[in-house]
Structure 1
Amino acid sequence: MLLTTACGTGGSGGADARSEPSARFTPVEVGKPDPVLAPPAPAPACDPSRSLTPAAPVRAGAMPAGSTMRAIQDRGRLVVGVDQNTRMFAARSLEREELEGFDIDLSREVARAIFGDPDRIQFKTIPPGRRIDVLVNGEVDMVVDAMTITCERMQQVEFSGVYLEDALRFLVPRKTKVASLADLAGKYVCVSSNTTPERRVAESKARVYAVADRTDCLVALQEGRVAAVYTNASLLESLREQDPRLEVVGPTAVEEVKGIAVPKGQTDFVRFLNGVLEQLKSNNRWQELYDKWLRAALGPAKPPTTTYGG
């Protein structure tokens, strides 16, 4: 469900917040050192913006025999792991009690490409920290959750081409001057567990405040328990619009690219998805979805470019 804006008592603390996190949010006891994250799994250098060459278009409802897409077609529905609390991307509509947003509509376009029907789909809501687990365990066919493509993750799952570009920024109380993690040394910074931002905070002089659900970061910031929230700008904007006392600050350069994640080894599905994404870019559907859900908060943008090969 959508998180309603809390009216915490310590929200004005900003980057000078001194209150210690409560047990609900912090993974360690107050006063204990931050947990030491295991180093990332060794991975060869890669280009996150590069993916497999798209497959030729296939008529909906006639997926090739023996393919991953045919198995999905025969089951009768596409199972997708998504968030349910990130406005603009994937959140429950207050009017219809249905999931809606950019990631939701993108997932429906994949279902349309397989079945000819965007409603032949089942959404499973998952926290960010379980996105890889649900793919490895076969619980979903794909994850669409503004998931950053990294060389380490590419050792565990497959990724489609890029469907969104993003910057890493900070959500802070208005008029708070934060330009980098160096400005938050010694202060708690809220991140989702098992994410790229968590590792970056752990490697800095700021303190890790990891939560399972990214919307918990909004409450923690409103209550003055953290000095900032650190994640992708697009996700921060979805939190900011719930509280006008907050603003998004920091670097604007593209640092991360987002892709659809699928189980390791399903390269035929990756090629299929890349074909779908290229079609959405060429027929202006990607632009329609971006303008509908993200333009107002993130500003104008054109479809991202993917380099293909193999």
Structure 2
Amino acid sequence: MKKRNLFAALMLSSLLFLGACSSDEGSATEPTSGADQVTIESIKDAGVLKVGVKEDVPNFGLKNTETGEIEGFEIDIAKKLAEDILGDPDAIELTPVTAKTRGPLLDNGEVDMIIATFTVTDERKETYNFTDAYYEDAVGLLVKKDKNYEGLKDMDGATIGVSQSSTTADAIKAEAEQYDITMDFSEYATYPEIKAALDSGRVDAFSVDRSILAGYLDDSTVILPDRFATQDYGIATKKSNTELAEHVNELITTWGEDGTLDGLVSEWGLNE
């Protein structure tokens, strides 16, 4: 009887010991709230600024097929930020994003910030930090010339191609209500896909911000005169990364006041 009791006691002690070890391991591996924070210091320690950018938007962020490099207005902003923080404009790691993937990539820490024609809205401000606008645009419509559309008012029943997870469809619906018309929407992952859908007749119009549409103009298309839903582009960071957000916003404000941003806008032909 004593042997049985001794064996049971030893087993219980072993289980308690293993449980304590398991609990300690769990505590040790759980990240602290500060572990996921991106700060100016952590970027300096890493030696690289990780930025989510577009690679399919002419003049903003477009992959050069000859060099394989992504080039554009927003890439130059990223380089200026890297120069300020790290002293080297080339100390950047660019990750291509779409309207659908940019949020998740920022959420999971694969990028430090997003500079990718990211429109600032009150709803998005609840999830991310945004800088003041570095560029202002408006939603537009790219159509085939042979459709003879003069404006949105002529497009009752049309199918509009838009980007996934963008604010474009809502902007068009709000504008369409003024004309008492309705339309259908088809979502696509990338802008080239929307342009291909327009060329093949699967959609009647390609809608996104006008400056982006300008990069997809050709001899068969025209941008209609409609301008609606002003779009302010801001640099997005995670809500917890307040120090980084404040620093980047200070730079954007300074560059807006001293003409740096205007110079880049002109350089990339974006002053419509």
TM bucket (normalised to shorter chain) is: 0.7 to 0.9
Asked if residue 179 in structure 1 is aligned to residue 165 in structure 2, the reply is no
| Number of the residue aligned with 1:129 | 100
Pair 167,202 (structure 1): closer, same or farther in 2 beyond 3 Å: closer
Higher alpha-carbon Rg:
2
Structure 1 residue 202, shift from structure 2 partner: 6.3
d(CA) in 2 for partners of 1:145 and 1:198?
19
| Number of the residue aligned with 2:269 | 294
Counterpart code for 1:218: K
| Number of the residue aligned with 1:214 | 191
| Alpha-carbon contact 1:143-1:260 (below 8 Å) kept | yes
Pair 67,152 (structure 1): closer, same or farther in 2 beyond 3 Å: closer
2:80 match: secondary structure:
helix
d(CA) in 2 for partners of 1:225 and 1:67?
43
The alignment's TM-score, normalised by the length of structure 2, stands at 0.78
In the alignment, structure 1 segments of 5+ residues that lack a partner are 1-65, 300-310
Aligned-pair identity in percent equals 28
| Number of the residue aligned with 1:272 | 247
| Alpha-carbon contact 1:165-1:254 (below 8 Å) kept | no
| Alpha-carbon contact 2:97-2:116 (below 8 Å) kept | no
Identify which of structures 1 and 2 has the higher relative contact order when contacts are C-alpha pairs closer than 8 Å and 6+ apart.
1
Stretch deviating more after TM superposition (66-75 or 272-281): 66-75
Asked if residue 163 in structure 1 is aligned to residue 163 in structure 2, the reply is no
1:273 match: secondary structure:
helix
- 1:194 aligns with one of 165, 176, 188: 165
List per-residue Cα deviations over 1:92-149 (Å, max 9, x = no partner). Answer: 2244221100011111111111011110000001121111111111111011111100
d(CA) in 2 for partners of 1:206 and 1:270?
39
| Number of the residue aligned with 1:151 | 122
d(CA) in 1 for partners of 2:166 and 2:221?
23
- 2:71 aligns with one of 88, 97, 100: 100
List per-residue Cα deviations over 1:154-205 (Å, max 9, x = no partner). Answer: 111110111000111100112632422x532322100001110133456762
d(CA) in 1 for partners of 2:150 and 2:53?
30
Asked if residue 68 in structure 1 is aligned to residue 43 in structure 2, the reply is no
d(CA) in 2 for partners of 1:256 and 1:156?
18
Asked if residue 225 in structure 1 is aligned to residue 202 in structure 2, the reply is yes
Structure 1 residue 253, shift from structure 2 partner: 5.7
Segments ≥4 residues shifted beyond 3 Å: 199-204
The alignment's TM-score, normalised by the length of structure 1, stands at 0.69
Pair 187,248 (structure 1): closer, same or farther in 2 beyond 3 Å: same
d(CA) in 1 for partners of 2:241 and 2:226?
35
Counterpart code for 2:246: R
List per-residue Cα deviations over 1:24-69 (Å, max 9, x = no partner). Answer: xxxxxxxxxxxxxxxxxxxxxxxxxxxxxxxxxxxxxxxxxx9711
Structure 1 residue 230, shift from structure 2 partner: 1.1
| Alpha-carbon contact 1:201-1:208 (below 8 Å) kept | no
Root mean square deviation, CA, Å: 1.9
Counterpart code for 1:290: V
d(CA) in 2 for partners of 1:189 and 1:97?
31
d(CA) in 2 for partners of 1:253 and 1:201?
8
d(CA) in 1 for partners of 2:238 and 2:150?
38
| Number of the residue aligned with 1:259 | 234
| Alpha-carbon contact 2:131-2:245 (below 8 Å) kept | yes
| Alpha-carbon contact 1:111-1:117 (below 8 Å) kept | yes
d(CA) in 2 for partners of 1:251 and 1:187?
16
In the alignment, structure 2 segments of 5+ residues that lack a partner are 1-36, 177-181
